Amino acid sequence: MENLTDIQNQPDSRNLAIDRVGVKNLRYPLRIRDKANSEQGTVATISMAVDLPKQYKGTHMSRFVEVLNSHGPVLDVHTISGIPAELLDRLHAQQAHVEFRFPFFLKKPAPVTRREGMLDYEVIFDVDASRERTDFTVSVLVPVTTLCPCSKAISARGAHNQRGIVTYAVKFSGEPIWIEDLIRLVERCASSELYSVLKRPDEKHVTEQAYDNPVFVEDLVRNVAAASNQQEGIAWYRVEAENFESIHNHNAYAVIEKGS
């Protein structure tokens, strides 16, 4: 093979290290453990990065993809957790980061008629690794309904409600918790959960359930935090809620973080 110049390994005179350099928005097949069906296939959008010491001009971008491809046509969660350590070795780095974002589907029956439909949730696996330790974070983005307690208290008829999104990130101290169980923990803390199929009896039920369980965005994050505090195996969590307000031209937002 022809001996080609390796520009990336040449020295750089600016004396500036780079915190993260790598590849983003790479899509790849992924298999995820499913509590109901043992496994489901999806497609992840992947970002991978390492630190770059000040003496090097660039990193070797192809090596990120080579590490990914070395595990075959489909990845799983155990493979993902080991990828950062491989990047450290292949790229002679001290810090590595990988992020996998993917849709996760649940079959949900409507609350009254039990008509089934598929509902998708976004899930994120974040892995940060150094030579000494690895941190694995699982995040679920859960859409919910919230109904305003103030609106209910002051209105003669009805109360305004809105769809919101809860971003719930956790680190585990022991065995990981099922993705489905993290989603359910969040959904139980809202005024109502969402469904993909609702007939009229279901819509009546959901509307009345939300009316009977009003929550501010502050209530929502506190509810999730309180439930997290009662859940064994969670070492750290961050719960972030954003309501897409129906009577304002802005969103309501709250966040609670606990642990280390």
**Cα separation values, 78 from 10, 15, 121, 167, 220, Å:** 35, 37, 21, 23, 32
Q: Are residues 27 and 137 in the same domain?
A: no
Q: How far apart, in whole angstroms, are the C-alpha atoms of residue 86 and residue 61? A: 14
Q: How confident is the model at residue 1 (pLDDT cuts 50, 70, 90)?
A: low
- Could you say which of 78, 100, 122 is where a domain stops? 100
Q: Are residues 192 and 70 in the same domain?
A: no
Q: How many domains does the chain have?
A: 2
Q: Are residues 160 and 90 in the same domain?
A: no
- Helix residue spans in 190-254 (DSSP H): 200-212, 217-229
User: Which amino acid, 5?
Assistant: T
Query: In which domain, by residue range, is 228 found?
Result: 133-260
Q: How far apart, in whole angstroms, are the C-alpha atoms of residue 138 and residue 1? A: 43
pLDDT digits (tens, 9 = 90+) for 126-174: 999 999 999 999 999 999 999 999 999 999 998 999 999 999 999 998 8
| pTM listed for this prediction | 0.90
Q: Are residues 91 and 145 in the same domain?
A: no
- Could you say which of 46, 79, 100 is where a domain stops? 100
Q: Are residues 142 and 247 in the same domain?
A: yes
pLDDT digits (tens, 9 = 90+) for 60-95: 889 999 999 998 888 888 888 889 999 999 988 999
